[in-house]
Amino acid sequence: EVQLVESGGGLVQPGRSLRLSCAVSGFSFDDYAMHWVRQVPGKGLEWVSGIPWNSGLVAYADSVRGRFTISRDNAQNSLYLQMDNLRPEDTAFYYCARGPLYYNDWFLPHFDFWGQGTLVTVSS
């Protein structure tokens, strides 16, 4: 059974940092691209960042570029999102999602499995 479990969310002050993790099981993690998608409570979905299986390329939404860093550890079957200089508008549920299998398609929003999400609240 495919499982994605996010952790690391919580309440943090503006300007501080937080690191989210996504532990996966039930599939060959190092075969797939992975992505982060967020959702302000009660609002729509926003793609945040993505990374192919070999971390060769990464991509970010304009709203987080330069502040967030996506990474993965294939040996640990884990995806990460390092969030620095957090702002109140970063308050959201953060979901990790499994992306495409094929490297050339790594950036496509082909998300066949999602985690349950972790809530990040940025407030003083």
Partner 1 sequence: DVVLTQTPLSLAVTPGQPASISCKSSQSLLHTNGKTYLYWYVQRPGQSPQPLIYELSRRFSGVPDRFSGSGSGTNFTLTISRAETEDVGIYYCVEGIHLPPAFGGGTKVEIK
Number of residues that bind partner 1 (CB under 8 A): 21
Residue with smaller CB distance to partner 1, 86 or 97: 97
Q: What is the number of helices (H) and of strands (E) in the chain?
A: 0, 11
Q: Dihedral angle at the C-alpha atoms of 76, 91, 114, 37, nearest 10 degrees? A: -90
The reply on whether position 109 binds partner 1 by CB under 8 A is: yes
Contact segment (CB under 8 A) with partner 1 among 10-18, 23-31, 76-84, 103-111 equals: 103-111
The reply on whether position 62 binds partner 1 by CB under 8 A is: yes
Residue selected from 21, 23, 27, 59 as contacting partner 1 according to rule CB under 8 A: 59
DSSP string, 40-65: -TTS-EEEEEEE-TTSS--EE-TTTT
